[in-house]
A and B are shown apart, each in its own frame.
Chain A
Amino acid sequence: MERIYIFKRFERFWHWSQALLIILMMVTGFEIHGSWSLLGYGDASELHTSAAWALIALWLFAIFWHFTTGEWRQYIPTTENLVAMLRYYLSGIFTHAPHPFHPTRLTKHNPLQRLAYLGVKLMINPLIWLSGLAYLYYNEINAAGFGLDLGLVAMLHTIGAFLMLAFLVVHVYVITTGDTWSSQLKAMITGWEEIEDPQEGVKP
């Protein structure tokens, strides 16, 4: 048993505040969409907008952090172990097979995680942000001469929201598939992950 320091302080701050904001935006966003009624439309809309700006600010910091620390490389897709990971999730996990992937400081994420997070960053997030900003500045954009259709903007934003919701559900479940049910959760809280059989673990 060994412990490695995987998630640094900023990374954890970024992750959890992002998680909080995204859940808040899910709750308020689907209220704006008419799926339920909790806060009242006006308050939901205002909170959704404020949370959006907070998340945008957080994102700017996170993007800066990723590039200055080189952490962006964590999301470069790889096929190495990809099939093994899939096989593990589909069968090995049920039969106490050894985990095919062991995180290190240089490769925190297994190949499926890499793909999933890259998908979020390159597809879902841009879709949500672009459609969300268009939603927010719909009047100004159209005043500038673009014939934007609010229904279409809202539809794209809703598609983004559903994709994010599906990601959130899967993500919350899949992080229970580490060495133990809670090892990955603990790592994101404390920064430290306990590894049963480290191969190339590097101490901080």
Chain B
Amino acid sequence: MKTNRSNRRALSWRALSWRALSWRAALLAAAVAGAAFQGGVVLAATKASTADHAKFKELQQGFASGPEVTRACLICHTEAAKQVHKTKHWTWEFLNPENGQKLGKKNVINNFCISIPSNYPFCTSCHVGYGWKDANFDFTAEENVDCLVCHDTTGSYRKLPGLAGHPPYQDTEIPPGSGKFAKAVDLTKVAQKVGKTSRDTCGACHFFGGGGDGVKHGDMDSSLAAPDKALDVHMDATGLDFTCGTCHRTASHDVPGSRYTPVARDTEGAHIPGRQDDSLPATCPACHGQVPHKGGGHAAKLNDHVDVVACQTCHIPQIARGGVATKMSWDWSTAGQMGPDGKPMLKKDEAGRVIYDSKKGDFVLGENVVPEYRWFNGEVTYTLLGDRVDQGEGVTRINRLGGSASDGRSLIWPMKVFVGVQPYDPVNHTLVTPHTAGNDDTAYWKNFGWEKAIKTGMQVSGAPFSGQVDFVRTEMSWPITHMVAPKEDAVRCGECHMKGGRLEKVGGVYIPGRDANPLIDLVGWLMAGGALLGALVHGGLRIVRRNG
């Protein structure tokens, strides 16, 4: 069985789910035989549901569309759509209660694909709904909820860019004119095999944020579909085999964990069933508690760090460790250059990764990237459409993270700091929301004209646009929390306790090995050196005078 599982690593993640099924069946059999112990971990037979959806009459029919499937689901799961309607996964909107900012995918601007409003049919291929093609989407329709995208276990369900959240109901050429066809999805089969969410279902969107595998996060990419222990000690497919939902323990379809109001410092103890506990279940202390290192001596000294350093800082030594590169920077200002044939082109690096795309500009990619480190207290403030932006004022922070050594709520966190150069309106001094994707006359990716694309986009956003376009440097910080390495790969003490180490730029804290009072060092060494010199002179004189 072990060999069988190791082989999974070699498979591409999309192909995985098929294998995973037969593999789970094998597991179940083993569990029944009482042989499901491996490395002290009970590989649960709990994956077996009490319901076989293939036996439900409601699902034994042909479905012409996603919403038809949803109507069938809702016959039994009467409250499911109402629950989903309340979540960020559905609304793409979030009101930050701390600073009143209106956030959510619908509203924020980033320095990857920039913004959503004029590009709905493409962006909403990652929406948990059907048919969000423009601002008139009906958020109250229960049948518009897409159950399958999260609950598919077959790996065959796929939503395509441009279809506004629908999967292909016929074989569809994607992208149009490419000669590559995506097969029509077999809705009946998918519906009859629904199950719990998995790394594959969450990953179908979250691994591909920013427009491609690993682009956005750095700590989330397709290598986490079936990671080994070195890549993620919890998700290790042949070990603990956590799914996303193991930590993001979800109730009523509301998935805990947020990039808008993250918990930077969880001061609660480990969660224990039966005890009143309202804190977030997705933090490290939620399981490991506030005294995570067991034992005295060295372990105790490590535990002394928990009020200063986030677990992630030591336990995620690098990001993008699974063989998938993450984007470190994106320069939109160089987009629009055509190849020798006058057509849009791609440039690739030696590893075959795209580093220039006429539609998007230049990229810098990184693997095994050492994160940057900052104090972080969980407060995130976005630069939103309408907020003042000026080229002359240095780098614009897409999101500003709160935190300091002294506020009592911050820890030192690892960050992927993503650098962008993106269009802005130099007259109105605002970021802009270009219309990038589409088959119309203004979409940038078809027409390669910024003015038209931004005019259309800003109209949809309801924001003024002067007609002038310039580019501004931007920066976005992504707190890192996935790809937790085994403890033997954790960051060594001396990587921070040194001059010029990982935490060189983190202020407000005395770090032994990095910090010292230079005056005391100078006086101290002069004193010791002076004593030595005095001894040498005195001893030398004794030798000379006594022997002489």
Distance (whole angstroms) from the CB of A46 to the closest CB of chain B: 6
CB pair A45 B535 closer than 8 Å: no
Q: Is A32 an interface residue (CB 8 A)?
A: yes
In terms of DSSP, what is the predominant structure of the interface of chain B? helix
Q: Which chain B residue has the least Cβ–Cβ distance from A170?
A: B531
Pairwise interchain contact A42-B297, C-beta atoms closer than 8 A:
no
Question: What are 16 A-to-B residue pairs whose CB atoms are below 8 Å?
Answer: A32-B513, A33-B513, A34-B498, A41-B498, A42-B493, A45-B301, A149-B510, A150-B509, A150-B510, A154-B510, A154-B515, A154-B516, A155-B520, A158-B521, A162-B528, A170-B535
Interface size class on chain B is 35 or more
Q: Do B528 and A165 have beta carbons less than 8 Å apart?
A: yes
Which residues on A sit within 8 Å (CB–CB) of B510? 149-151, 154
**5 more A-B contacts (CB under 8 A) besides A32-B512, A161-B524?**
A42-B492, A46-B301, A150-B510, A163-B527, A173-B535
Residues 475-526 of B at the A interface (beta carbon under 8 Å): 492-494, 497-499, 509-510, 512-517, 520-521, 523-525
The 10 closest A-B pairs by CB, nearest first: A162-B524, A173-B535, A41-B494, A42-B493, A151-B510, A94-B545, A169-B531, A41-B497, A150-B510, A41-B493
- A169-B528 CB under 8 A given contacts A40-B493, A158-B517: yes
- Contacts A33-B512, A158-B516, A162-B523 known; A42 to B494 CB distance under 8 Å? yes
The contact of A166 among B517, B527, B546, by CB within 8 Å, is B527
Check if B516 sits within 8 Å of A34, measured CB to CB. Answer: yes
Give A153 to B541 CA distance when docked, in angstroms: 41
Tell whether A176 pairs with B527 under 8 Å between CB atoms, given A41-B494, A42-B493: no
Q: Does B14 contact A (CB under 8 A)?
A: no
What secondary structure prevails in chain A residues at the interface with B? helix
Once A41-B492, A151-B510 are accepted as A-B contacts, the answer to whether A138 and B528 lie under 8 Å apart by CB is: no
Partner of A34, one of B304, B514, B525: B514
Residues on B with beta carbons closer than 8 Å to the beta carbon of A94: 541-542, 545-546
CB–CB A166/B528 < 8 A = yes
Determine the chain A residues whose CB is within 8 A of the CB of B492 once the complex forms. Answer: 40-42
B539 interface residue, CB < 8 Å from A?
A: yes
Minimum CB distance partner of A158 in chain B:
B520
Q: Report Cα–Cα, A89/B539, bound state, in Å.
A: 11
Against A, the Cβ 8 Å flags (1 = close, 0 = not) of B84-96 are 0000000000000
B538 adjacent to chain A (CB < 8 Å): yes
Whether A159 and B514, one on each chain, are in contact in the complex, defined by CB atoms closer than 8 angstroms, is: no
> Residue on B with the closest CB to A152?
B510
Question: How many Å lie between the Cα of A112 and that of B237 in the bound state?
Answer: 71
Chain A residues near B534: list those with CB within 8 A: 170
Q: Does B298 lie at the interface of the complex (its beta carbon under 8 Å from any beta carbon of A)?
A: yes
Please tell me if A96 contacts chain B, counting CB pairs below 8 Å: yes
Q: How far is the CB of B317 from chain A (nearest CB, A)?
A: 14
